[in-house]
Every structure is written in C-alpha cells, then in structure tokens.
C-alpha cells in the first residue's frame, strides 16, 4: 500500500467523521432546543476536549521515531505498556467495529424516506408488510456490504473513494453556509429571519442534555489517528492532521450554528411528521435538499468506510503484539500468504457490526460505543499527563503541550461519560480492568511497563525530599529496615527477608542486601527479587554493613532498624555495639522449628528500654500479611517474669495499663519468680508460639541506651541455648519508645 500524507491520511478521515449526521440532522434541533448561543458554548466546550486530546496525541506521537499501526492503541501502548495499552486496543477495536453499525444506520435514516417512494420498492413494502425499522436495517446492511467490498479491495481504493466523498461533503457544507444568500422558501414563506434565536424553544432539553447529544460528533478524530500505520511520517502527520481537522470542523460548526440560528423559529420545533433537520428545513428547495441528502449519505458512508479501514488495522496491531489470544491471531493475516492487508480482520469487523444493525436498539449501542471512545480518549490524555509529570529523560516530544492540558482532557472526557451514563461507564472501566489483569498475568509476566516506573519514581522522589524536612518522632515512627543476609545461604536469607517484610509490610520500608564473598561469581549467585548484591572480602562483612547503614538513603532518611542473621562470619558483638551507637535498632533473627504464619506472638517484657519496641514490633508483625486467612496471628501475649521484690497484682495492673494505653491487642501473663533459668521459662510457656520476641543478651551501661556492653562468649552461649525453640527475634532498641504516642 502506498503511504499516505497528512491531508489524505489524517485530515480527510477525521474531517469526514466529525462532519456527519450531527451537522445535518441534529444540529438544527439543538439550536431550536437551547438557542444559538448555548449551542456555540457547547461547540467550544466539546472541541476543547478533543483539542486537549490532540495535544496529548502530539506529545505521544512526536516522542517516538516509529508510531506503528493501531492509532491510539499504539500511542497508549508506548506510554502505558502492553497490559494497559492492550486493554485500550481491544476496547478501541470493538468500538470502531460497532461504530460502523450505527454510521450505516445513520446512512439509512434519511435515505429510507426517499427509497420507499420508488414504485417497485413501495409495492414490495406493501406486499410483504416491511416495517420502517426493517427498511432502514436493510439499507444499513447494504451500505455495510458496500463498505466491506471497498475495504477488501484495499486501502488505496478506499482512500481514493474518501477523496471523492470529501469533495461532496465540502460542497454540502458550503450550500448550508451560503443558503441565506439565496432566500430559500418553506411552504411559501422565507426560511431565514433577520435575528438569531437566542433562547431555546423546546422544553425538556437542557444544556447538558444537548451537550451529551452533540459531543459524539467531535470524537471522530480517531478515524484519522487510526491510520498511523499507513502514514509516510506519522510523528508529523498525526499531530498536524488532527489539529487541522479540529480547527476546520470547529469553524464549520460555529458557522452552521449561526446559519441555523437565523432559521424561522417554527422550523426549529418538532411537530407531527416533522423533525428539524437540514433536509426538512430545505424540503421546498429541491436542489439544496438533494445536495444535502447526497452530502449526508456520503458523510455517514465515509465514516463507516473510515472505521472499516482503522478497525482491522487496530486488530492487526493487537495480533502483532500478541495481545489477542492465539486462536484469533489469524486476524492479522491477509487472504494470501504474501498480502499485507488485514482482510481477515476486515471480515471479522463486518461480523461484529452486522448484529448491531439488526438488534433494533441502535441508540444503546451508540451510547456504549460513545463511552468506549471517551474512555480511550481519557486514557490517551492520562498517558500524556503521566509522561509530562514523570520527568523521564526519554520523554522529549517536539510538541509544546502541558500537563494541565492533558489533565483537563482526561477530566472532561470522564465528566462526559458521567453525563452519558455513569453505570455503563463503570461497567466499561470494570471490563477494562479485567483485561488489564489478564494481560498482566498472561502477556506481561505481572510486570508493568512504560511510564509507570517514572511516575512512581517522581512521586517517591517528591515525597522523599519532603520527608527530609519532617521530624520523625515517636508519633510517626516507621521501621526503615535494612536486611543483611549471605548470598550463599539462600534459604536463610529468604527467611530473613520474610520476617523483615512482615515488619515493613505497608508500614515501612525494607531493603535486602546480599553479602557475597568475592570468591563467588556474581552471575552464579541466586539473587532474590528486589535484593542488592554486596561483593566484599571475607573479613570486611561488618565494615560493609556499617558503611551501608551510615550511608544516606535518597530522600535524606536512614535505616533505623537492621535485621541480621546468626552467622559466625559476622563479629556480632562489635557490630551490634557500633550499630546501637549510631542509634540503629538491631534485630537478630534465629529461625526455629516452627514456621511463621499462625498462632501467637510472645513478647518477654523486662522493661521499657527493649519492651516497648518489642511490643510495637509484635503489633506490626501481627497486622502484616493476609489477616483473613491467619486470624490467630493477631494474638499477642506480653509475658513478664517477676523479680522477688515485685508484687504480682501491681505488675499485672502495670502491664494491663500498658496494653490499654498503647492500644494493643493482646493479653498479659505474669510469671512468679523462681529459680529456673530463663531458657527453661521460655520453653515452658512459649514452645507453641509462632514467634518469640525477647531482649538481646547483654548489659546496658548507665542511663544511655546506646551504651551497650556485650561479652562475646556469654552472648554466643546465650543465643545458642535457643536452638530448638520457635523463631526468635532478639531485639536491642537504640532508645526508649513511647507506646502512648
């Protein structure tokens, strides 16, 4: 196929799709309903939405070297990725195909009253009792078959045919614009007056109802954009052709509104057997009426033909990107092996819109398709908006758009959806969401593509820069957790990551760092998702951890909690002392014989220094994950073993007050003092727990929490004593947490 330029490839299809049945058949009625000035406001407001969409199209099309086939599908896919773009493409293809059905009915609407006057047709109608609806359906099917034949012959032929239609349509518009100069008559009286109709004459049709009726006319820009794969220079032609089509048709609608505003008032009001339309207004002027009739027929026929070109090409693009399931991928092929025309998709397009013609309720189909197009335009604007705010260096369009323009286009498109029927709009968005989920799972491997990373990066960066200006006190404390594991111990590190994610799930931030000895080839090391590989010498693991913890995280905040494994390659006593002195909470995780995920969390409370942090961590862990499946995991038990000098009732009241004041879900268990070792006490009361939290072995030196003394031999001996217990978190807080905040 010969490549098309801006005029023939974009401007003409868009021009013909915009200036269709609404201009000749509906605009006079709207002028009579709300007055010429309100209609002009409607034209301006409706065109502002498509103008904003045109800027978004220009942003997207001038930012890529090769747009590809598929029109708005191709543009949205480049920005939003294959999952979101594919859902838009499927929706767009169906909307384009169904559009042919009601454009064909629009063709049959004015033609039926003339065809039925042919004697042979009249006799047939009378003999077989064919209803007016059936007559229109037969005519609509005929125009659909003609458009099918033209599309199957090839895009070159269809494009040449559109050029002829363009000339006829321009002539019909010109006749309307100059008609006041000829002084046309209706039933012996002048059609035009000398004053404009300022206010509406038809009760029951308000401004917004008129707006919703008119708006579908301006959405015809898709007919030109859909030819993106057949253009010589799509980046240039899509933007210029769309802008010119919007500008020219805007002037035409404003001018024709003024012309219809001068029409005699009684001709703008419906009556029995009479509906205000360009044909009926000039019914007593045969030459003008015939030119308008031919123009209407050519306009609606051209719109059907335009979508017969764009819909199959959208389907072909979906096939090439493997969006459509395998059984339907024949839609991307031609009848012949070497052919490039999507003729099978053309046949499928015909099979989609044919039932629409014969369904009878063309108004509902028109409403659904109109909303589908609006949702696509909304996504097109939202894609350009995301590109603008993401700040991605790859987004370098040559157009001069602005994010406010694209945001306005999105808002007004969704507002018009609510004007049409918000219930249908919600249903369409729900169907699109389902498509996105399916495409994410089966096509995109559950990974979003496109602009989303840049958008989230910008949002996170914006938030991070402001976090640095806010004091993180006890009131808004969140765990910013650095997890350190060894790359050669995958299972152990995965468990470390699991517990850290439970601490940071929805309430904090977790970074997994894999310590990898230099003797290992980094390519051979299995790396957990989201982890960072830290290659270092065997004797410098602790130094690497210290450096990473002290380094500033982007945004100006640092790790406040570190989770470490029990590994002999770490000099834990020195490392823990150094981290505590840097005001970092330290958690040693010892995996036990019981898996995490159900049951009870036991917290051994020995005072506010560690106890408050452990209680807070227990609350966070118990509320992480799927609470519906593991309701028992929310159970927290605060256990306090008394010293000889402490009274049980007083201690119980203190702990109960702590639970109430701190707003924690849990129970209190007070243990009498005895001669048992602490390990024996834990074994007696917590062997069935899902997890145990206890203070880290060691002694605090003075009143400053950061001064912490560890004896390596004692520390190691104490930790090893808990080998056969449930999973244990040994916690050392770097300060005292206020649970009452």
Q: What pLDDT is attached to residue 628?
A: 40
Encoded tokens for 447 = 């990974």
Mean pLDDT of 57-65: 83
Please give the angle made by the CA atoms of 129, 135 and 139, to the nearest 5 degrees: 150
Task: Name the 3-class secondary structure at 12.
Answer: helix
Task: Name the 3-class secondary structure at 443.
Answer: coil
Q: What pLDDT is attached to residue 629?
A: 42
Task: Please list the residues that pair with 731 across neighbouring strands.
Answer: 587, 695
Q: What is the pLDDT of residues 357-371, one digit of tens each?
A: 887 666 666 777 778
pLDDT-based confidence at residue 44 (cuts at 50, 70, 90): very high
Mean pLDDT of 615-643: 71
Q: How far is CA 572 from the centre of its chain?
A: 47
What pTM, to 2 d.p., does this model score?
0.72
Mean pLDDT of 150-164: 76
pLDDT over 90 (residue 594) = no
pLDDT over 60 (residue 701) = no
Q: What is the pLDDT of residues 409-461, one digit of tens each?
A: 999 888 888 888 888 888 888 988 898 888 888 887 777 777 888 888 888 77
Those residues with Cβ within 8 angstroms of residue 574's Cβ, 6 or more apart along the chain or in another chain? 542
Contact between 479 and 508 under an 8 Å Cβ cutoff? The reply is yes
Contact between 288 and 179 under an 8 Å Cβ cutoff? The reply is yes
Encoded tokens for 430 = 């729900």
Please count the CA atoms within 13 angstroms of the CA of 664 that sit on its side-chain side. 30
Q: What is the pLDDT of residues 530-551, one digit of tens each?
A: 677 788 877 788 888 888 888 7
Residue 480: φ, ψ to 5°: -105, 100
Those residues with Cβ within 8 angstroms of residue 627's Cβ, 6 or more apart along the chain or in another chain? 633, 634
Contact between 80 and 454 under an 8 Å Cβ cutoff? The reply is no
- Please state, in angstroms and as integers, the Cα–Cα distance from residue 290 to each residue in 173, 278, 283, 293, following that order: 13, 11, 9, 5
Encoded tokens for 699 = 């002694």
* Torsion of the alpha carbons at 657, 659, 660 and 665, rounded to the nearest 10: -160
pLDDT over 50 (residue 705) = no
Contact between 378 and 410 under an 8 Å Cβ cutoff? The reply is yes
Higher local confidence (pLDDT), 698 or 624: 624
Per-residue DSSP letter, 10: I
Per-residue DSSP letter, 265: G
* Torsion of the alpha carbons at 389, 390, 396 and 400, rounded to the nearest 10: -10
How far apart are the C-alpha atoms of 145 and 153, rounded to whole Å? 12
Nearest to 605 by CA among 562, 659, 563: 659
Q: What pLDDT is attached to residue 205?
A: 79
Q: Which residue has 């909470």 as its token pair?
A: 585
Please count the CA atoms within 13 angstroms of the CA of 589 that sit on its side-chain side. 22
Q: What pLDDT is attached to residue 625?
A: 62
How far apart are the C-alpha atoms of 313 and 4, rounded to whole Å? 15
pLDDT over 90 (residue 74) = no
pLDDT-based confidence at residue 60 (cuts at 50, 70, 90): confident
Q: What pLDDT is attached to residue 68?
A: 73
Considering only CA atoms, give the Rg of the chain: 36
Task: Name the 3-class secondary structure at 272.
Answer: coil
Please count the CA atoms within 13 angstroms of the CA of 226 that sit on its side-chain side. 33
Q: How many residues appear in the chain? A: 741
Mean pLDDT of 670-686: 85
Q: What pLDDT is attached to residue 165?
A: 82
Encoded tokens for 262 = 């001068």
Nearest to 311 by CA among 7, 15, 78, 101: 101
> What superfamily in CATH does domain 468-732 come from?
HUPs (3.40.50.620)
Q: What pLDDT is attached to residue 707?
A: 46
How far apart are the C-alpha atoms of 468 and 552, rounded to whole Å? 11
Encoded tokens for 42 = 């409607």
What is the pairing mode between strands 561-565 and 585-590?
parallel
Q: Which residue has 């499928």 as its token pair?
A: 348
Task: Name the 3-class secondary structure at 635.
Answer: strand
Contact between 369 and 359 under an 8 Å Cβ cutoff? The reply is no
Higher local confidence (pLDDT), 318 or 472: 318
Contact between 545 and 572 under an 8 Å Cβ cutoff? The reply is no
Mean pLDDT of 546-569: 77
Nearest to 67 by CA among 237, 222, 306, 319: 237
Instruction: Delimit the domains of the chain by residue range.
Output: 6-378, 468-732
For domain 6-378, give the CATH number. 1.20.1740.10
Those residues with Cβ within 8 angstroms of residue 488's Cβ, 6 or more apart along the chain or in another chain? 516, 517, 520, 525
- Lowest mean pLDDT, pick from 235-249, 581-595, 635-649, 697-711: 697-711
Those residues with Cβ within 8 angstroms of residue 113's Cβ, 6 or more apart along the chain or in another chain? none
Contact between 381 and 58 under an 8 Å Cβ cutoff? The reply is no
* Torsion of the alpha carbons at 488, 492, 494 and 500, rounded to the nearest 10: -120
Listed in sequence order, the DSSP H helices in 582-647 are 608-622
Higher local confidence (pLDDT), 315 or 472: 315
- Lowest mean pLDDT, pick from 73-82, 279-288, 563-572, 588-597: 588-597
Mean pLDDT of 694-722: 62
Contact between 404 and 52 under an 8 Å Cβ cutoff? The reply is no
pLDDT over 90 (residue 249) = yes
The average confidence (pLDDT) of the chain is 81
Q: What pLDDT is attached to residue 151?
A: 79
- The rounded percent of the chain whose pLDDT value lies above 90 is 7
Q: What pLDDT is attached to residue 630?
A: 47
How far apart are the C-alpha atoms of 603 and 695, rounded to whole Å? 9
Mean pLDDT of 601-616: 81
How far apart are the C-alpha atoms of 600 and 637, rounded to whole Å? 7
Nearest to 279 by CA among 186, 141, 162: 186
């Amino acid at each position: 196929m010969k490549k098309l330029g801006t005029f023939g490839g974009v401007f003409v299809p868009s021009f013909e799709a915009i200036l269709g049945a609404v201009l000749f058949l509906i605009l006079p009625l709207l002028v009579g309903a709300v007055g010429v000035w309100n209609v002009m406001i409607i034209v301006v407001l409706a065109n502002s939405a498509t103008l904003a969409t045109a800027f978004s199209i220009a942003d997207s099309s001038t930012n890529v070297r090769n747009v590809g086939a598929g029109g708005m599908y191709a543009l949205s896919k480049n920005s939003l990725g294959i999952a979101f773009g594919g859902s838009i493409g499927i929706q767009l293809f169906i909307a384009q195909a169904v559009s042919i059905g009601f454009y064909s009915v629009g063709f049959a609407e004015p033609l039926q009253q003339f065809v039925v006057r042919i004697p042979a047709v009249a006799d047939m109608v009378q003999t077989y009792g064919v209803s007016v609806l059936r007559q229109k359906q037969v005519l609509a099917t005929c125009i659909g078959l003609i458009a099918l034949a033209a599309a199957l012959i090839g895009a070159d032929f269809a494009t040449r045919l559109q050029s002829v239609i363009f000339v006829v349509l321009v002539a019909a518009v010109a006749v309307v614009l100059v008609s006041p100069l000829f002084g046309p008559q209706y039933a012996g009286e002048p059609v035009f007056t000398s004053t404009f109709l300022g206010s509406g004459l038809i009760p029951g049709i308000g401004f917004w109802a008129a707006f919703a009726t008119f708006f579908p006319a301006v959405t015809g820009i898709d007919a030109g954009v859909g030819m993106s794969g057949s253009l010589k220079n799509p980046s240039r032609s899509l933007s210029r052709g769309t802008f010119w089509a919007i500008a020219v048709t805007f002037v035409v609608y404003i001018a024709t509104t003024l012309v219809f505003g001068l029409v005699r008032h009684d001709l703008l009001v419906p009556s029995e057997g009479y509906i205000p339309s360009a044909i009926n207004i000039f019914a007593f002027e045969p030459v003008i009426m015939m030119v308008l009739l031919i123009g209407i027929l050519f306009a609606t026929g051209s719109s059907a033909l335009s979508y017969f070109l764009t819909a199959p090409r959208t389907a072909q693009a979906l096939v090439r990107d493997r969006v459509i399931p395998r059984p339907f991928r024949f839609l991307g092929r031609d009848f012949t092996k070497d052919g490039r025309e999507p003729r099978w998709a053309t046949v499928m397009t015909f099979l989609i819109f044919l039932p629409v013609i014969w369904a009878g309720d063309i108004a509902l189909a028109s409403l659904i398709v109109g909303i589908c197009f609006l949702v696509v335009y909304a996504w097109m604007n939202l894609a350009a908006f995301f590109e603008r705010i993401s700040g991605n260096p790859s987004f370098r369009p040559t157009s001069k758009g602005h994010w406010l323009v694209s945001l306005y286009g999105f808002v007004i498109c969704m507002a018009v959806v609510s004007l049409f029927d918000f219930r249908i709009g919600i249903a369409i968005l729900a169907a699109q969401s389902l498509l996105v989920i399916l495409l994410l799972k089966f096509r995109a491997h559950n990974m979003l593509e496109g602009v989303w990373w840049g958008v989230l990066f910008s949002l996170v960066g914006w938030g991070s820069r402001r976090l640095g200006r806010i004091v993180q006190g006890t009131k808004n404390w969140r765990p910013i957790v650095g997890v350190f594991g060894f790359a050669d111990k995958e299972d152990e590190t995965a468990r470390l990551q699991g517990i850290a994610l439970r601490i940071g799930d929805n309430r904090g931030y977790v970074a997994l760092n894999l310590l990898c000895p230099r003797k290992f080839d980094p390519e051979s090391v299995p790396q957990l998702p989201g982890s960072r590989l830290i290659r270092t010498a065997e004797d410098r693991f602790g130094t690497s951890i210290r450096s990473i913890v002290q380094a500033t995280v982007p945004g100006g905040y640092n790790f406040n909690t570190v989770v470490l494994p029990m590994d002999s390659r770490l000099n834990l006593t020195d490392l823990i002392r150094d981290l505590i002195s840097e005001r970092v909470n330290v958690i040693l995780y010892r995996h036990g014989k019981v898996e995490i995920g159900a049951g009870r969390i036991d917290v051994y409370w020995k005072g506010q220094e560690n106890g408050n942090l452990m209680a807070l961590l227990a609350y966070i862990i118990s509320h992480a994950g799927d609470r519906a499946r593991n309701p028992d995991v929310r159970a927290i038990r605060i256990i306090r073993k008394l010293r000889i000098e402490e009274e049980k009732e007083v201690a119980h009241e203190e702990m109960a007050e702590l639970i109430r004041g701190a707003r924690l879900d849990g129970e209190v268990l007070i243990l009498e003092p005895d001669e048992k070792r602490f390990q024996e006490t834990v074994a007696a009361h917590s062997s069935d727990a899902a997890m145990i939290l206890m203070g880290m072995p060691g002694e605090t030196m003075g009143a400053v929490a950061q001064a912490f003394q560890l004896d390596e031999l004692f520390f190691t001996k104490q930790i090893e004593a808990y080998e056969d217990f449930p999973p244990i978190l040994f916690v050392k807080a770097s300060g005292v947490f206020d649970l009452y905040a």
